[in-house]
Amino acid sequence: MDYSEKDTSKDIVTETLDLFDKYSQKRDTWAQHAKEDKEFRLGRQWTAEQKETLESRGQAPIVINRIHPAVESAKAMLTANRPAFRAAPREDSDNKIAQVISNLLSYMYDISDGRSVIRQAVDDYYVMGVGYIQVYQDPMMDMGKGEVCMHNIDPLDVYVDPNSRHRLFDDAENIIVSKLFTKDQAKKLWPMYENKIENAASSTPFGKGSDWNAPSTQRADNGEIQFPEDVGRLNEQDYIRGYERYYKVDVEEYRIFEKFSKKEDLLTEDKFQEYLKKPAFYVNEQLIIEPEKATQVYAQLMTQRQEMFQKEIIEMSQAGYSERDIEKYEAQGPEPVPFVQTTHKALIDEKKIDVVKITLKRIQQCVIVGDTKLYSRILPLESYPIVPIMNIHTRN
């Protein structure tokens, strides 16, 4: 769904960068603990000071890692079986639709390598207290027809409105997914915006600690474990920060109900204007909205009338009418079938279609690279496409 945007590119970029700074400051404590937990799980269990003290005593800072096996065991138990998707019908007529939805969810799980996605989200759930799964549309899959997929997000890349209290962040004002890219990497992700990316300036100069979502810790680093931020610090390429911002907006749509077909639909402003112009037809006072069907019905009725007319002429001849009277009647031809073309707007005026203008909540997605807005669109969703899996939720 596309809607006209009221925000200018400059305003939305400035607002997004300000929100990112505010959200970053509010989550500093959690990010510090989360990074320490990741390092502890992978074997960095001594601080630099503790390691130095042990070595000064002639003791080796040996690590007996009991956390990693425990996490892997928990992951194995939770993800041992393939999840089953089942949509329950509300009434008997919904059975087939429910089966289609169930199969569609299983298909989405398969094409997204759902097992790996769930395993990583569960890993983050145990180690950092929260895992994230994002649902997104990939327009390039299925030979350009597009697919709906899911993938996991590093919790340190997610910045949530600190005022949110809902377990699934449904009340959050904004959710921002932000991470660093090289410009070449960004161009591969968004090839249609290559020029914008090339001209974009980095919003945070390389080298500052705020460049990276994961803060540095005081744990001893033996060089055996590396994280994305460690690789980036070693290889100072032309990095640029990307922002994928989601927030809720109010949009106006039209709910229509066709009394003659019992069909109900929800249309955006643009599609509603197209709907008003769609033709409709009265064929022998029968309302038909499909042009091909209207033509077909008209041809059938005219054929029937022609046959009846020929039958009447035969009956007149058998009844003894003069040739002059028969020729005169035959010249008149069969009575034409009434055929009137109208529009859906006229049907609305005739009260044959009910229209109600409503306001709905929708999710707006805005993608920014550096100081440049790439694109913005409104998703056909009322809930955020980023789903948190909370270990312990304390309403913050």
Q: Give 43-91 pLDDT, tens digit per residue.
A: 888 888 888 898 899 888 888 889 999 999 989 988 888 888 888 888 8
Say which residue the tokens 């022609």 belong to.
Answer: 306
pLDDT at 232: 57
Exposed (0-12), middle (13-18) or buried (19+): which is 312, by Cβ within 10 Å?
A: middle
pLDDT tens digits for 284-311?
A: 999 999 999 999 999 999 999 999 999 9
Average pLDDT for 5-32: 85
Residue 296 carries which side chain, given as an amino acid letter? Q
pLDDT tens digits for 342-359?
A: 999 999 999 999 999 999
Q: Which residues contact 6 (CB under 8 A, 6 or more apart)?
A: none
N residues, the chain: 396
Q: Return the structure tokens found at 110.
A: 């398969």
Q: Read off φ and ψ for residue 244, nearest 5 degrees.
A: -120, 100
Average pLDDT for 152-160: 94
How many angstroms separate the CA atoms of 245 and 252, rounded?
Answer: 22
How many angstroms separate the CA atoms of 227 and 34, rounded?
Answer: 13
pLDDT at 206: 43
Average pLDDT for 370-374: 91
How many angstroms separate the CA atoms of 189 and 201, rounded?
Answer: 18
pLDDT bucket at 1, cuts 50 / 70 / 90: very low
pLDDT at 207: 39
pLDDT at 14: 92
How many angstroms separate the CA atoms of 108 and 106, rounded?
Answer: 5
The answer to whether 209 touches 145, Cβ cutoff 8 Å, is no
Alpha helical stretches, state H, 43-181: 48-56, 67-78, 95-111, 114-128
pTM of this prediction? Answer: 0.81
76-85, 249-258, 355-364: segment of lowest average pLDDT: 76-85
